Structure 1
Amino acid sequence: MSRGTVSQRIAALLASSLLREGAPAASDGGRPARSYEVNPDYRNLIGVDLGEHVGRACLLDLHGRILDQTHFALDLRADPEITLRHVVEASQALSLSNARTAPVAALGLAVPAPVDVASGHVVKPSVMYGWENLDIREWITRQTGLTVVIDKDVNLMCLAEHRLSWPSCENFAFIKIGTGIGCGIITGGNLLRGVSGTAGDLGHIQHRLQPYHLCRCGKKGCTEAHAAGWALARDLRAKGFDCEDARDVMRLWTNGEPEALKLIHMSSRVLGKVSADLVAMINPEVLVIGGQLAATGEAMLAGVRELIYQRCLPLATQNLDIRLARNSTDLAVCGAAFFAMDTVPELNGEW
């Protein structure tokens, strides 16, 4: 692209207010270079994260800053339209928020289930029973007038962690360990989804661990069935503890309960084995661990790191940076907003 063409396009973007001048670039003695950035207040976006028990909707600017937010209780086993009504009500409230700095352009939705991104449909098997035949995008758009995009939560968490903390990293992986286990992968700077959207489904890689626990997907021996939050809660219940889900696992771990400490240690090593497989397969530069159980910090990270370095070739690990996520709480809503921002121009041609 010629210098003149670049100048014309920048001028058009500046005139539209989508672009603005950034901080002065460092000079090497010649004419100072100009820098430009997306104007964060050109449009606002809504990011929604559907957990298994709580939904969170946030109003964000184009830099991913949260301007306002709201929470709502949900039950993914109930009628899907009940949950979608909560999403619509939260989105309508945020669209009228006093914190809004621009019109709302789109809504991104993060769900704890595999998604056919082309159609926007949740696909089986998933914890979102009864959602498979529902056109979620059309349902929300009909009620709000907003363009809607949808993807599984771990992909959107990966997108946000990469963009906010590792933007120059070309080969990046993000593993979420919470109620379930999943992975988002960025290669060549782009999110890898695979032909049908199941890339990174680490939770359903099978291991030779005895006993072969039954997974939520219906198969036996999956990584999730041994190391995810729902599986640890199952094991703690079997030992007589009041433990329904990953939140209770974290409560017991925080209180120093020896059985919870032991299970988190075991979980970290199981996750380490599957993480080593991932590193050997895709050779990332950065691997980030996030999600609810990652809040155990070094207790989770130590086992992952140990197994990766134990099982992988030195060439695969010599430049590998293994870290905890900066802030798992906000990643899904920020990633949902970024996905909406990246996708909307292709959908409606406005930007």
Structure 2
Amino acid sequence: MCLTPPVRTGELFELLRDGRPWTRAQLADATGLARSTVTTRIDTLMRLGLVAPYGGARSTGGRPPTLFALNPGAKLVVGVDIGATHARAALTDLDGKILGETDAQIEVAAGPEQVLGWVVETVRDLVSASGRQLADLAAIGIGLPGPVEHSTGRPINPPIMPGWDRYDVPGHLRQFYPVPVLVDNDVNIMALGERRAYLRDVDDLVLIKVATGIGAGIVSGGILQRGARGTAGDLGHVRVRRADDVLCRCGNTGCLEAVAAGPALAAAVREQGEDATTGGDVVDLVRAGSLVAMAVVRQAGRDIGEVVATMTNLVNPSVVVIGGQLAGAGEHLLAGIRESVYQRSLPLATEHLRIVTSRAGGEAAVLGASALAIEHVLSPDVVEAACEALAAADAAAEAAPA
């Protein structure tokens, strides 16, 4: 990788973010900077705690060169996953390693004051239990079960979140913790978490959450795609042929969610004499060997696959990950999805396509919330701002009378 000088300290730091150790000479070669300039910038990053010496390097004669790498323990972040009826939070280092975790049964419908009150207390408890100080907290990432305007962190008309519409989630939390608060919808967060935990080498993937609703998080070229207003990936309200006359909760007919989400599957199973109230009940029936539930889930897979086939042609991912509650149905759901995708997508798009269930499972969202916070903290602009603040503090100290 070769960058064109001048290279800011924040951009130099980008080379060190993956934890791979570098020598000063290697950094100078990669950036085109003078060795003395690299040394100065490494010293600044070390003073900030973001970079630390890493083991030793073999010498080719003379004194062994020193290796430098990201110091993941420099700061802490908290990732929070808020669901319809649960909340989970994890304290992590800057590499996403979980240092502490907790969860609670809490209804998002209880409103932002109660739910975010739990977040405030939990952040404090997690940091305290780790033996670190609140001053070490660098950012908080949060996933919400509804549409989010990412630029402001405010939920926008969330259907299952009464009292949350346009609520200033970051502003609420910053009353207690003066750090950046990053907010996104739950499926985008899950896509980030799955990628960080298990698919770091995959730059083009789609994670589809199949639960009470259906949505997708799209990563293209290594970047999460949110669209103009943050609604990219709303697959649940794409029209499918089999649902032409089925009314959806959005008011339209023909939506994928109306025939393939958890409530629709439970209703289909009940119509055939099995006892099911939720999507979780359908998964339990599948695992218990119910032929009715298996057939219903397989058809849902075909319906989902019809939409995924179109997405595959448009976005061309290398991996499609199925997550959410209904992913527990495993191969019965995947078989239906694959059937439609391989039938209706272009051969070149599916030649190396993998369609798999989530490996991160219930941890995907909280890991993704942490990843969202980490990406902000370690971004070149934020690191550069920290370097400039340190330089200004040094200048002020030198100018102060003795």
Question: TM-score, with normalisation over the residues of structure 2?
Answer: 0.78
Which residue does the alignment assign to 1:258? 291
1:23–1:307 Cα change, 3 Å: farther
Q: Is the 8 A contact 1:213 1:226 kept in 2?
A: yes
Q: How many residues align?
A: 349
5+ long unaligned stretches in structure 2: 6-31, 388-402
Q: Distance in 1 between matches of 2:338 and 2:344?
A: 10
SS of 1:77's equivalent in the other structure is helix
Say yes or no: does 1:19 pair with 2:51: yes
Which residue does the alignment assign to 1:192? 225
Which residue does the alignment assign to 1:66? 98
Q: Is the 8 A contact 1:126 1:217 kept in 2?
A: no
The worse-fitting range, judged by mean Cα deviation, of 340-349 and 64-73 is 340-349
State the one-letter code of the partner of 1:301: L
SS of 2:146's equivalent in the other structure is coil
Equivalent residue runs for 1:184-333 within 5 Å: 184-210=217-243, 212-238=245-271, 242-333=275-366
State the one-letter code of the partner of 1:226: V
Name the structure where helix makes up a greater proportion of residues.
Answer: 2
State the one-letter code of the partner of 2:277: E
Say yes or no: does 1:179 pair with 2:212: yes
Equivalent residue runs for 1:54-203 within 5 Å: 54-98=86-130, 100=132, 103-203=136-236
CA distances 1:283-312 after superposition (whole Å, capped 9, x unpaired): 112222222211222222222222111111
Q: Distance in 1 between matches of 2:210 and 2:53?
A: 40
SS of 1:185's equivalent in the other structure is strand
Q: Is the 8 A contact 1:112 1:153 kept in 2?
A: yes
SS of 1:209's equivalent in the other structure is helix
1:6–1:73 Cα change, 3 Å: same
Instruction: State percent identity of aligned pairs.
Output: 39
Which residue does the alignment assign to 1:52? 84
1:144–1:95 Cα change, 3 Å: same
RMSD between aligned residues = 2.8
Deviation at 1:124, TM superposition (A): 2.2
Question: TM-score, with normalisation over the residues of structure 1?
Answer: 0.89
State the one-letter code of the partner of 1:311: R
CA distances 1:207-255 after superposition (whole Å, capped 9, x unpaired): 1224633323232221111111232233345556553333222222222
Deviation at 1:256, TM superposition (A): 2.4
Q: Distance in 2 between matches of 1:333 and 1:262?
A: 32
State the one-letter code of the partner of 1:13: L
The worse-fitting range, judged by mean Cα deviation, of 38-47 and 163-172 is 163-172
1:25–1:123 Cα change, 3 Å: farther
Q: Is the 8 A contact 2:153 2:182 kept in 1?
A: yes
Q: Is the 8 A contact 1:68 1:99 kept in 2?
A: no
Q: Is the 8 A contact 1:203 1:224 kept in 2?
A: yes
Which residue does the alignment assign to 1:3? 33
1:149–1:256 Cα change, 3 Å: same
Q: Distance in 2 between matches of 1:180 and 1:33?
A: 55
Q: Distance in 1 between matches of 2:185 and 2:69?
A: 28
State the one-letter code of the partner of 1:186: V
1:92–1:210 Cα change, 3 Å: same
Deviation at 1:332, TM superposition (A): 0.7
CA distances 1:76-95 after superposition (whole Å, capped 9, x unpaired): 22333222222222222112
CA distances 1:129-155 after superposition (whole Å, capped 9, x unpaired): 321131111112213444311001111
Q: Distance in 1 between matches of 2:129 and 2:245?
A: 50
1:59–1:257 Cα change, 3 Å: same
1:315–1:82 Cα change, 3 Å: same
Q: Is the 8 A contact 1:173 1:288 kept in 2?
A: yes
Deviation at 1:198, TM superposition (A): 0.8
1:83–1:243 Cα change, 3 Å: farther
1:347–1:217 Cα change, 3 Å: farther
Q: Is the 8 A contact 1:53 1:74 kept in 2?
A: yes
Which residue does the alignment assign to 1:337? 370
Q: Distance in 2 between matches of 1:239 and 1:14?
A: 65
State the one-letter code of the partner of 1:202: L
1:264–1:319 Cα change, 3 Å: same
Q: Distance in 1 between matches of 2:287 and 2:300?
A: 16
Q: Distance in 1 between matches of 2:56 and 2:320?
A: 32
Q: Distance in 1 between matches of 2:329 and 2:86?
A: 21
Bigger CA radius of gyration: 2
